[in-house]
Amino acid sequence: MTNTSNSDPLTVAGFGEEWAAFDQSDAPQADLETQFAAYTSVFRWDLVGKDSVGFDMGCGSGRWAKLMAPKVGHLHCIDASDKALLVARRNLAQLDNVSFHNVQVGDAPAQVGIGMMDFGMSLGVLHHVPDTNAGVKSCIQMLKIGAPFLLYLYYRFDNRPPWFRALWRLSEAGRWVICRLPFGLRNVVASTIAALVYWPLARTARVLEKMGGAVFNFPLAAYRHQGFYFMRTDALDRFGTRLEQRFTRKEMEEMLRDAGCGDIRFSDSVPFWCVSAVREK
C-alpha cells in the first residue's frame, strides 16, 4: 500500500520523544543563532519581507521557527509529531504570528495551502521520510511561483575523501543497533557518544585550528565552536533515528529541478549541502 502521507511512524514517534527530552530551552542562544545564520546564508532574503507568509516543514521543537518568525508576517509550523508540536507551542508562546499544524508532509499541501506561501523552509527533516523526492515536491507545491525555499538534507560526504566516507559507513552499523533501543537507553547511549566522541574530537579540532592546522576533514570538526547541549541533541538525532537517507549535491539539485525550481544556490561551507531554490513553475 502506498504511503500517501509520506511518513514513518516509528521515526515520527522517536522525534516526539527526542524533542520532549531536548526541548532546546537549555540550548545556548548563541549556538542556535550561529547555526541558523549558517543554514540561511544562501537563502533569498531579498524575496522575503515583514509581510511574507511561509512555512517551516518539520518544525520539531520550533528552534528555527523562533528565529525565523520575527523576520516575517506569519509562519506555519508543521510537524507530524503531536509531541513535538507541544514543545514548539511552549517555545513559541511569546510569538503571535505563528500557527501549528499536526500533519504529515504528504498531506500538508491540502491542509495548509497549495500555491499560497511566500516562502518555505525544511531544515534537517526530509531525509527522515520514506520518499524524500516526494517530500520536496510537497513543499514546493505549497509555494507561490517566484517564492524561495530553503532546504537542508543530510549529505553523502561527496566532498570528502574515501577514508572519511568509510568512517561514516562504520558509524552506520552503530546507528542500526542504537536506533532500535528503547528511548531511555537510546538517549543514554547517544549522550555517551556525545561525551566520549563528539566533545573530544570537536575540541581537538578547535585546538588544531587555533594552531593554524587545517581541520576541514577532521572528524566532527563542524562542532568545534558549539556547546555540549548541541552535540547531545545531534548525537541523538544521528544515532537514534530509524530512517535516515543521504544525498549528493547533484541528487539534491535534481530533486529541486524536478519539483519545478530554479535559481538553485548551494552553500559552500558547513552545513553541506544547505540549498536555496525558487519555484519557477
CATH number at residue 29: 3.40.50.150
- E strands within the chain? 53-57, 74-79, 98-102, 119-123, 148-152, 261-266, 275-279
pLDDT of res. 3: 62
Q: Model confidence over 22-42: pLDDT tens digits?
A: 899 888 999 999 999 999 999
Q: Model confidence over 131-185: pLDDT tens digits?
A: 999 999 999 999 999 999 999 999 999 999 999 999 999 999 999 999 999 999 9
Residues 214 and 152 in one domain: no
Q: Model confidence over 67-107: pLDDT tens digits?
A: 999 999 999 999 999 999 999 999 999 999 999 999 999 99
Residues 171 and 60 in one domain: no
Is residue 2 included in any domain, yes or no? no
Is residue 101 included in any domain, yes or no? yes
Is residue 174 included in any domain, yes or no? yes
Residues 110 and 22 in one domain: yes
Residues 147 and 180 in one domain: no
Residues 133 and 266 in one domain: yes
Residue 107 CB contacts under 8 Å (≥ 6 apart), including other chains: 4, 5
Could you tell me what percent of the chain has a pLDDT over 70? 99
Count Cβ atoms below 10 Å from residue 103 Cβ, excluding itself: 20
Is the distance from CB of 177 to CB of 76 less than 8 angstroms? Answer: no
Q: What domain range includes position 221?
A: 162-239
Residues 19 and 102 in one domain: yes
Give mean pLDDT, residues 205-232. Answer: 95
Is the distance from CB of 108 to CB of 40 less than 8 angstroms? Answer: no
Q: CA 189, CA 201: separation in Å to the nearest integer?
A: 17
Write down the mean pLDDT value for the chain. Answer: 95
Residues 182 and 81 in one domain: no
Give mean pLDDT, residues 50-65. Answer: 97
Which residue in 93, 134, 104 sits closest to 15, CA to CA?
A: 104
Residues 48 and 171 in one domain: no
The pLDDT confidence band at residue 130, using thresholds 50, 70 and 90, is very high
Q: Which amino acid is at 225?
A: H
Is residue 85 included in any domain, yes or no? yes
Residues 231 and 250 in one domain: no
Is residue 98 included in any domain, yes or no? yes
Total structural domains in the chain?
2
pLDDT of res. 162: 96
Residues 27 and 144 in one domain: yes
Is residue 4 included in any domain, yes or no? no
pLDDT of res. 2: 47
The pLDDT confidence band at residue 5, using thresholds 50, 70 and 90, is confident
Is residue 231 included in any domain, yes or no? yes
Is residue 1 included in any domain, yes or no? no
Q: CA 72, CA 78: separation in Å to the nearest integer?
A: 16
pLDDT of res. 266: 98
CA angle 236, 238, 241 (to 5 degrees): 80
- The cell numbers describing 100, all together, are 501549528
Residues 152 and 169 in one domain: no
Residues 222 and 268 in one domain: no
